[in-house]
Structures are given as structure tokens and as C-alpha cells.
Structure 1
């Protein structure tokens, strides 16, 4: 059982764009046109009016913003928070009175050239 075909006239630029679209999606021209019409009818949108902000579009926009925020926070953590934490921990370690005595002893030992282990 064959289906009837009919013709519609389009501008040649539009025909080339449509052919390219159909080839890229690996479907014939009829399937491409049916998919486009089904999309507009199913989503209750018109290509001639601005799209309303549907829940799906808002969710998509929100997810993209959240991804960008996550990237920003990861970069901030890597570039500024981790080095700052290391510096603060080193300052606390040096300022600790228990470590302060050890630090002075090590320094005094390192400058003492009379000690037999100094030249190792």
C-alpha cells in the first residue's frame, strides 16, 4: 500500500537547509517534517510567537546556572581556600607553644656546627 505524495513549493535555500537537517538526523524528508510538526503540536508552541517559560525550560536554565555555580565554587576552593587553609595551619603550628620550643631546638641544632651530625 503506497501513500500519496504531493508537492509544496519552498525557496531553494530553505530546501537545502531542510535536506541538510534530514541527512544529519538520518531520516527521510517526510519523517523530518512529521517530527517537526509533532514537536510543535505536542508542546503547544508556535514558531511564530515567543516561547513561554515552561517548567522544563525553567528547570534547564536553573540546572545550567547551578552547574556554573558549582564550577565557580570548586575553582574558588582550589585557588584560594585551600592555600589559605594551609597558611593558617602553618601559622597555628608555628605559634603553638609546644612546637615553638621544638622549632627553636631544631634551629639551634641546625646552626651548631660543633655537633658531629651537622656535616651529614
Structure 2
């Protein structure tokens, strides 16, 4: 980004000495030029719509509450889907699979005769 501003002229700003020391330390820490550091700071505040005078505490807390509400809503939707779609479908499938099969009757039944009774047909011994 420094390349974009190479041909621009410099302007001077008057700031307190203590602020100057703090700002220079911060610029060294992030390894940026003074112009770029100040540009990035202003861009950050404009992009996120926050003021340097405000504390991030309420904003972060508000964001956390919003996320928790969204998670709760997603959980409620999933529970509703389970209750109204998944569980009834599983119940229907289990009912179909667990139905008793009708008892199969043998097609040909051999009648048992008391011993000594003769059959009605003629038996051949070979």
C-alpha cells in the first residue's frame, strides 16, 4: 500500500510528545511507516463503524449475545425437524419392518395314521 502513496506530499501533524512516543513504538511493533499505520487505523475504525472513544466491551458482548441467539434458533430448528420429520419417518419404517409375517400354512399336510390302520391306496414292496 505504501507504493500508492509514494508520490503524495507529506503534511505535518502536531501531537503531544507522549502520544508521539507511544505512536512511534506502535509503528515499530507492527513494522509499518507512520503514514501507513495511521491510514490503517482510520480505515479500521471506518470499516467497522466503531469509535476510538467507545469501549469494545459492549460491542463484543452484543455480538456474543446475537451469536448465542442464532445458535439457539438453529438448535430449535433442528429439534423441530427431528420431532416432525425424522422420528415419525423412523417410526413408520420400524412399524413396517416389525410387522408380523402371516403364518405360513404348509401346502401339503401328511395325515398321521394310528399304527395298524391300512392306507386307502395300495403299497408295493420292491
- Report if TM-score (shorter chain) is over 0.5: no
> Which one has a larger percent helix, Structure 1 or Structure 2?
1
Shorter-chain-normalised TM-score: which range? 0.3 to 0.5
TM-score (norm 1): 0.43
TM-score (norm 2): 0.41
